[in-house]
Structure 1
């Protein structure tokens, strides 16, 4: 299946014990949420395509490669669809990898699922707990060993959760995954989790820790720069704890937080932080978009589109992150842009442009169509002249000529959009009518979801539980109102729930609107001002108990990490043609969350620009200068935004020196030409260059390499300056 072979060691037990107790996993194939409605009314979330492969395949492929030998897949909503998929897949026939399904029609929460599994008595040792919407390539070896060693010393250490450092953008709540800001308190010595709270559950700027937490701890690290990967290593006691506590429904809000405040039983939860590996959960449409991009850009290797487990090894990686199946029909005049995946059997018409998108199998895309940043699933028909920007289009949809989908639109299965009809931003359209009773309170993962699904079934009588297709003959003769979706249209436009308009942008595949991003940055600045009076904690810091004034020392930020984040933001702006003012907002949020100065931003942006020029194909120094000229011409407005004074301009010149000596030596022979280019494009002023020259005069000869190289240019600047002075 996956190219990577399993070989994960599981602690220090002897081989006989390993043979007796194979490593097991519980995979929840129901998220018990409604965040992917209306799509999930017809197909379970774990079977939704993620870069043209069902989500659950990523989770199973990782478990198999990581050394898990037995997986129990818990199925609830649309259980027949999940079981049918697994039975017809290769997962049931893998050597040393057993997949068993457990079906339930009564469970309405993760707690119910784990209680049922406990009753089945199938778990015999430590196990991995994961949902079927998780993508990872991490090794389980170290976290399993840590968990087992802790268990030997303390039987109350029942759970280890996997975390990773989140991107700075996530800290500022303009999260790339669309999730709430998460606060954790961790013992830095033992890695024990002491406190867990998301942004939605606490007052702005305030965190309250129980004094008992401090009783036997020398220090506590408080973080809001960590991401919960929702990968848990559990001891068998976890299942019995759910059985003993029927109010445990949600894995985090109830179980995890319940154990953290339970002083009587004394159970403990620990953390394991990953650094270079990948792990993320698809929780909403925005994280669906972010994780899809990560897969295409190969952060999830070996779980990438051209690996065999996807079932179609004919998909090939081409330049600039383009993946194309071997059997597609593409017009010569059609343009396929970077970071795009095209599935088998898809036909693309004349003068059609597709970029930063995933197109499924068997699609028919007409001429003069524009598709940007979108996800078009299988067997979709898009007629001539249609426009799609940052949308999701499910199987069997028909878009008639000239139709337009504004950013954030979701079209569920077999919807028809009429000619020339414009679907407004963030609209959700389905052949099934919207339930009259909506779930409330952030779509909690329990309680009313079951009644909601039942109500939908009674309203429509159309949901075939085995395959999710429309089967009611009466529905075939009854036409949907054409006024909703234009002439010839079919489907219901769902209304946004109360308070939903404020949140639609957070959970959408569409880029965050500039005005919302500005609000987010202003909120961060307000939080920082609030923190200055000592009533709040810094983004991530350590609380030392021997400090009289409870001073918090901020953890040092890794400069390379900040540069990498700016570079990723810049490259995304290049790929998606994002406006400079919008990039500025994102970089500013990175600056605030990483506690950086304007000069740091200027240096990181300049580095990103030069690296892009260096990676542009070139065969000579002159071609490298041409590539650099193009990049600087296109993006000088972004760089100049962070060059407000001479000192910052000098920092950029010195940054360029460092690059020529270390990370980008190809620029070394053309340093003077690039320096002149920066001057000619009015990025670096004459005064900055002359002051740089003055500062280098007393330096060692080894530090004057590039000053000597630019000597002719500097001399010309000085002479021109003197002539101007004489004329004045």
Structure 2
């Protein structure tokens, strides 16, 4: 994003009001905890803003309660108390749950003085922003700036690192994309179909398979029958044969032996993975770590040549964190061995250095190098590059559904005392249409990920993510089914075809492969009828090349048990009283519908005879 607009806005505000010391940048994000956590690993934010001035009145994060608490406890953990003064002398306030903090702040010089006066501030948001908003004596003010078309995001954990990297590869950050901003003058980058980027000087064996959303750096060579998908491979890497790399970030000068499996991991410069090693999802291997032959690194492990310092007793959590972080950053590149530093300063007990490092084979395998850093395993899934486990998604969705049931009960009680509901304005209807279109695009994007085999896009995972979108957008299963069916037809239409017969063959292939996924969103006969209505709308308005093969596609959906006989007959019955223009596709299916009705009558007769 360009900072010109927000800088100008901040400067103009400062000229009018010297107490306007800070402007914070936000962007829109759908209000659902699953969206925030699967996207950047962050919690939901609640902002209270004066809509007329854009002044920030309240800032809070709706942190999920830990453990297995009930929905009631989860709700209490996420409750927010607003000061009465926020509502005083203001005709309206705006409560925002649909925002993402970009961590871009335009500050006046007074901010530095405020930090000096409050030397115990450790966290910019939790301490400084909240402290500034609650300080009524000084009267300093914070304002907000919302971006719409621009891209801005903060990388403060590995999930955010992975997501922003994927956004760059998918060109959401244009012109900051690999072939424009990251290519060196000496080395060019070629972009192929499905967002495959290759620098000059990449050597691939004839049987190597490079999947979608992949970047390969110069000087990298990949052996026979190796597969790389949805990954970034740096420069100067040597990758052996029969290697499978998926959803991972491999930096420069990494050596990967034969028959190695790497899934959703981050591998830093100079790492060596010996033959047969398996790197499970969520693993982070620091600089020059060596993993022994046929050794499996467990999920979410963090391995480094620098030994982890023991935690020191401290009552200040933030000081503890800062001390640990600075220790990692300032540690020399040489590893610690049993309290002594190799290739560095002499050991405390004398000048003698150990002849060889002492690494635990249970952590890095035989002849490996590195030590495993312990971490809070309960939260590792939240900030890892690995896809969020299905059971975690189910927990979040279940908690949200339970919370919605409680909200519905409270709303019903409130509505009994207040029957006067304001009429919906035209602007709200327009917003609803925009949101519906956005929902359809999000569902299709999830389906496309499954089609291309992108990391974390297995059928069960797609179903869970679509269900989370359903909750976030307040949609029904019929909406999900309609959006998914549209995505199926778009896929069939994009495949090569010159005649209606070719298009029908494409549809049959798509229905065979993806019909079971669509079926998982058809919970009732009404949902199935909604799919037929969507099909009609597509044939009339969006893609008329499907119109001549409507009946054939419908029969294929019936043959593959996607649409039931009852739904088709009910759809045809509803059309009997419609205008002639609405009966076009019913007439096209007349013979098929007649056959279904006769078959249904025969079944009923057989049941009567029995």
TM range, normalised to the smaller chain? 0.7 to 0.9
Q: 1:599 to 1:727 in 2, by over 3 A?
A: same
In structure 2, which of residues 118, 121, 125 is the aligned counterpart of residue 245 of structure 1? 118
Contact kept, 8 Å, 1:376 with 1:393, in 2: the verdict is yes
Q: 1:395 to 1:531 in 2, by over 3 A?
A: same
**1:515 and 2:394 aligned:** no
**1:526 and 2:402 aligned:** yes
**1:352 and 2:231 aligned:** no
The one-character-per-residue Cα deviations of 1:93-120 (angstroms, maximum 9, x if unpaired) are xxxxxxxxxxxxxxxxxxxxxxxxxxxx
Residue 349 (structure 2) aligns with: none
Q: In structure 2, the residue corresponding to 1:184 is in which secondary structure?
A: strand
Q: How does 1:251-400 map to 2 (within 5 A)?
A: 251-311=124-184, 314-400=188-274
Residue 609 (structure 1) aligns with: 488
Give, in whole Å, the separation in 1 of the partners of 2:378 and 2:316: 13
Give, in whole Å, the separation in 1 of the partners of 2:288 and 2:605: 77
Q: In structure 2, the residue corresponding to 1:477 is in which secondary structure?
A: coil
Contact kept, 8 Å, 2:250 with 2:268, in 1: the verdict is yes
Q: 1:455 to 1:289 in 2, by over 3 A?
A: closer
Residue 350 (structure 2) aligns with: none
Give, in whole Å, the separation in 2 of the partners of 1:441 and 1:649: 60
Give, in whole Å, the separation in 2 of the partners of 1:494 and 1:164: 35
Q: 1:193 to 1:517 in 2, by over 3 A?
A: same
Q: How does 1:139-538 map to 2 (within 5 A)?
A: 139-167=2-30, 170=33, 174-200=37-63, 203-311=76-184, 314-437=188-311, 444=318, 447-449=319-321, 451-452=323-324, 462=334, 471-472=343-344, 474=353, 477-496=356-375, 500-532=376-408, 534=410
Q: 1:698 to 1:439 in 2, by over 3 A?
A: farther
Contact kept, 8 Å, 2:302 with 2:372, in 1: the verdict is yes
**1:571 and 2:448 aligned:** yes
Give, in whole Å, the separation in 2 of the partners of 1:456 and 1:326: 35
Residue 47 (structure 1) aligns with: none
Gaps of 5+ in 2: 66-75, 346-352, 412-417
Contact kept, 8 Å, 2:63 with 2:78, in 1: the verdict is no
Q: 1:454 to 1:657 in 2, by over 3 A?
A: closer
Contact kept, 8 Å, 2:540 with 2:547, in 1: the verdict is yes
The one-character-per-residue Cα deviations of 1:483-519 (angstroms, maximum 9, x if unpaired) are 43212111111222xxx11101111111111111111
The one-character-per-residue Cα deviations of 1:165-207 (angstroms, maximum 9, x if unpaired) are 2145545654321111211112233322111111239952411
Richer in helix (by share): 2
Q: 1:333 to 1:654 in 2, by over 3 A?
A: same
Q: In structure 2, the residue corresponding to 1:643 is in which secondary structure?
A: coil
Q: 1:457 to 1:309 in 2, by over 3 A?
A: closer
Gaps of 5+ in 1: 1-137, 536-546
* Superposed displacement of residue 415, structure 1: 0.7
Give, in whole Å, the separation in 2 of the partners of 1:315 and 1:634: 35
Q: In structure 2, the residue corresponding to 1:429 is in which secondary structure?
A: strand
Q: 1:461 to 1:171 in 2, by over 3 A?
A: closer
* Superposed displacement of residue 621, structure 1: 3.2
The one-character-per-residue Cα deviations of 1:310-350 (angstroms, maximum 9, x if unpaired) are 32662111111111122111011111111111111111111
Residue 583 (structure 1) aligns with: 462
* Superposed displacement of residue 352, structure 1: 0.5
Q: In structure 1, the residue corresponding to 2:58 is in which secondary structure?
A: strand
Give, in whole Å, the separation in 2 of the partners of 1:183 and 1:439: 33
Q: In structure 1, the residue corresponding to 2:63 is in which secondary structure?
A: helix
Q: In structure 2, the residue corresponding to 1:704 is in which secondary structure?
A: helix
Give, in whole Å, the separation in 2 of the partners of 1:523 and 1:356: 31
Q: In structure 1, the residue corresponding to 2:106 is in which secondary structure?
A: strand
Contact kept, 8 Å, 1:171 with 1:225, in 2: the verdict is no
Give, in whole Å, the separation in 2 of the partners of 1:163 and 1:240: 25
Q: If the length of structure 1 is used for normalisation, what is the TM-score?
A: 0.72
* Superposed displacement of residue 459, structure 1: 8.2
* Superposed displacement of residue 144, structure 1: 3.7
- Using the TM superposition, name which of 203-212 and 648-657 deviates more: 203-212
- Using the TM superposition, name which of 145-154 and 423-432 deviates more: 145-154
Q: If the length of structure 2 is used for normalisation, what is the TM-score?
A: 0.85
Across the aligned residues of Structure 1 and Structure 2, the Cα RMSD in angstroms comes to: 3.2
Q: In structure 2, the residue corresponding to 1:185 is in which secondary structure?
A: strand
Q: 1:630 to 1:160 in 2, by over 3 A?
A: farther
Residue 508 (structure 2) aligns with: 629
Give, in whole Å, the separation in 1 of the partners of 2:409 and 2:599: 52
Matched pairs, number: 571
Give, in whole Å, the separation in 2 of the partners of 1:512 and 1:381: 28
Give, in whole Å, the separation in 2 of the partners of 1:337 and 1:272: 39
Contact kept, 8 Å, 1:170 with 1:177, in 2: the verdict is no
Give, in whole Å, the separation in 2 of the partners of 1:219 and 1:463: 59
Q: 1:341 to 1:621 in 2, by over 3 A?
A: farther
Contact kept, 8 Å, 1:205 with 1:531, in 2: the verdict is no
Give, in whole Å, the separation in 2 of the partners of 1:525 and 1:183: 20
- Using the TM superposition, name which of 450-459 and 390-399 deviates more: 450-459
Q: In structure 2, the residue corresponding to 1:263 is in which secondary structure?
A: coil
Q: In structure 2, the residue corresponding to 1:697 is in which secondary structure?
A: helix
Q: In structure 2, the residue corresponding to 1:198 is in which secondary structure?
A: strand
* Superposed displacement of residue 219, structure 1: 2.0
* Superposed displacement of residue 616, structure 1: 3.1
Q: 1:617 to 1:356 in 2, by over 3 A?
A: farther
Give, in whole Å, the separation in 2 of the partners of 1:704 and 1:324: 53
